[in-house]
Structure 1
Amino acid sequence: MAGDRNADGRDDVAAPDAVAPEFVLRRNRGRDARTRAPRSRQGPWHPSADRPDPVALLEGQATTRDLDIVPLRYERMSASPFAFFRGSALLMASDLATAAHTGITVQLCGDAHLSNFGLFGTPERRLIFDMNDFDETFPGPFEWDLKRLATSFAVAGRQRGFSTEEIDACVRASIVGYRKAMRRAADAHVLDAWYDRFDADGARRRIRAERDRGRAEDETVARLDAAIKKARKRDRMRSFAQLVHVQDGQLRIIPNPPLVTPVEDLLPGAVQDLDEVGIMRDLLAAYQDTLPGDRHPISEYRYRHMARTVGGIGSVGTRAWVILLSGRDDSDPLLLQAKTAQPSVLERFLGPGTHDSEGERVVRGQRLMQAASDLFLGWQRVTGTDGVTRDFYVRQLHDWKGGIDPETMTPRGAALYARICGETLARGHARSGDRLEIAGYLGRGRAFEEAICAFADAYADQNEEDYAAFLAARASGRLPTMGSGEPGR
Structure 2
Amino acid sequence: MSHSSFDAIPAKNLPRAERLKAGQALRQQVPREAHAACPPASSRDPVAILAETDGARIPELLPIRYQRMQQSPFTFLRGAAAVMAHDLAATPQVGAHVQACGDCHLLNFGVFSTPEGRVLFDINDFDETLPGIDFTVDIKRLAASVAVAALNANMPDKRARALATATVKSYREFILELAVKPPLEVWYTRMEIDREVKRIGDTKLRETLFSVLIKAKKDLAADDNFPHLATAKAGVARIADRPPLIYHFDTAATKDYKIHAHSAFANYQSCLLPERRALVERYTLADIAFKVVGVGSVGTFCAVGLFMTADGEPLFLQVKQALPSVLEKIAAPPPHLLQQGCRVVEGQRAMQAASDIFLGWTEEPKTSRHFYVRQLKNRRLGSLGQVLEGKALDAYANLCGRTLARAHARSGDPALLAGYMGKSEVFDDALGTFAMAYAAQTKHDHACLKSAHGAKGSLAPK
Distance in 1 between residues matched to 2:293 and 2:144, nearest whole Å: 23
Q: Aligned letter for 1:430?
A: A
Alignment of 1:336-485 (within 5 A): 336-354=317-335, 355-384=337-366, 388-399=367-378, 401-402=381-382, 403-405=384-386, 409-410=390-391, 413-477=392-456, 479-480=458-459, 485=461
Q: Aligned letter for 1:389?
A: S
Q: Aligned letter for 1:148?
A: R
Shift, 1:146, TM fit: 0.3
Please list the CA deviations of residues 360-401 of structure 1 after superposition, one character each: whole Å capped at 9, or x if unmatched. Answer: 0000000000000111111112212xxx20111001112364
Residue 8 of structure 2 is matched in structure 1 by none
Distance in 1 between residues matched to 2:64 and 2:16, nearest whole Å: 50
Distance in 1 between residues matched to 2:193 and 2:273, nearest whole Å: 25
Residue 178 of structure 2 is matched in structure 1 by 185
Name the CA shift for 1:401/1:347 in 2 (closer, same or farther; >3 Å): farther
| 2:241 aligned counterpart, secondary structure | coil
Residue 271 of structure 2 is matched in structure 1 by 290
Distance in 2 between residues matched to 1:295 and 1:164, nearest whole Å: 50
For 2:206, which of 215, 221, 224 is the aligned residue? 221
Distance in 2 between residues matched to 1:334 and 1:433, nearest whole Å: 35
Distance in 2 between residues matched to 1:280 and 1:69, nearest whole Å: 21
Distance in 2 between residues matched to 1:102 and 1:256, nearest whole Å: 47
For 1:196, which of 182, 189, 198 is the aligned residue? 189
Residue 258 of structure 1 is matched in structure 2 by 244
Distance in 1 between residues matched to 2:425 and 2:144, nearest whole Å: 18
Q: Aligned letter for 1:345?
A: V
Residue 143 of structure 1 is matched in structure 2 by 136
Name the CA shift for 1:144/1:406 in 2 (closer, same or farther; >3 Å): farther
Residue 152 of structure 1 is matched in structure 2 by 145
- Between the two proteins, what is the percent identity of the paired residues? 38
Residue 102 of structure 2 is matched in structure 1 by 110
Shift, 1:438, TM fit: 0.8
Residue 5 of structure 2 is matched in structure 1 by none
Distance in 2 between residues matched to 1:106 and 1:361, nearest whole Å: 14
Alignment of 1:281-320 (within 5 A): 281-296=262-277, 297-320=279-302
Shift, 1:63, TM fit: 1.6
User: What is the TM-score of this pair, normalised by structure 2?
Assistant: 0.91
5+ residue gaps, structure 1: 1-19, 212-216
Residue 225 of structure 2 is matched in structure 1 by 239
Residue 3 of structure 2 is matched in structure 1 by none
| 1:69 aligned counterpart, secondary structure | helix
Q: Aligned letter for 2:152?
A: Q
The 8 Å contact of residues 160 and 407 in structure 1, kept in 2 or not, is answered as no
Deviating more after overlay: 248-257 vs 136-145:
248-257
Distance in 2 between residues matched to 1:229 and 1:265, nearest whole Å: 43
| 1:290 aligned counterpart, secondary structure | coil
Deviating more after overlay: 119-128 vs 241-250:
241-250
Q: Aligned letter for 2:315?
A: L
Please say if 1:165 is aligned against 2:158: yes
Name the CA shift for 1:265/1:250 in 2 (closer, same or farther; >3 Å): farther
Name the CA shift for 1:100/1:295 in 2 (closer, same or farther; >3 Å): closer
Distance in 2 between residues matched to 1:431 and 1:478, nearest whole Å: 46
The 8 Å contact of residues 117 and 220 in structure 2, kept in 1 or not, is answered as no
Distance in 1 between residues matched to 2:375 and 2:414, nearest whole Å: 31
Please list the CA deviations of residues 128-169 of structure 1 after superposition, one character each: whole Å capped at 9, or x if unmatched. Answer: 000000000012000110001011110000011112332122
| 1:336 aligned counterpart, secondary structure | strand
Distance in 2 between residues matched to 1:89 and 1:227, nearest whole Å: 32
The 8 Å contact of residues 120 and 231 in structure 1, kept in 2 or not, is answered as no
The 8 Å contact of residues 236 and 398 in structure 1, kept in 2 or not, is answered as no
Q: Aligned letter for 1:220?
A: L
Please list the CA deviations of residues 68-99 of structure 1 after superposition, one character each: whole Å capped at 9, or x if unmatched. Answer: 10100111111111111100011100000012
Q: Aligned letter for 1:109?
A: C
Shift, 1:220, TM fit: 2.9
Distance in 1 between residues matched to 2:152 and 2:276, nearest whole Å: 49
The 8 Å contact of residues 81 and 463 in structure 1, kept in 2 or not, is answered as yes
The 8 Å contact of residues 223 and 404 in structure 1, kept in 2 or not, is answered as no
Whichever of the two has the greater Rg, that structure is 1
Distance in 2 between residues matched to 1:421 and 1:268, nearest whole Å: 38
The 8 Å contact of residues 102 and 126 in structure 2, kept in 1 or not, is answered as yes
Name the CA shift for 1:291/1:167 in 2 (closer, same or farther; >3 Å): same
User: What is the TM-score of this pair, normalised by structure 1?
Assistant: 0.86
Residue 62 of structure 2 is matched in structure 1 by 70
The CA RMSD over aligned residues, in Å, is 2.1
5+ residue gaps, structure 2: 1-12
Distance in 1 between residues matched to 2:254 and 2:81, nearest whole Å: 32
Name the CA shift for 1:239/1:265 in 2 (closer, same or farther; >3 Å): farther
Distance in 2 between residues matched to 1:76 and 1:480, nearest whole Å: 12
Name the CA shift for 1:85/1:235 in 2 (closer, same or farther; >3 Å): farther
Distance in 2 between residues matched to 1:230 and 1:39, nearest whole Å: 45
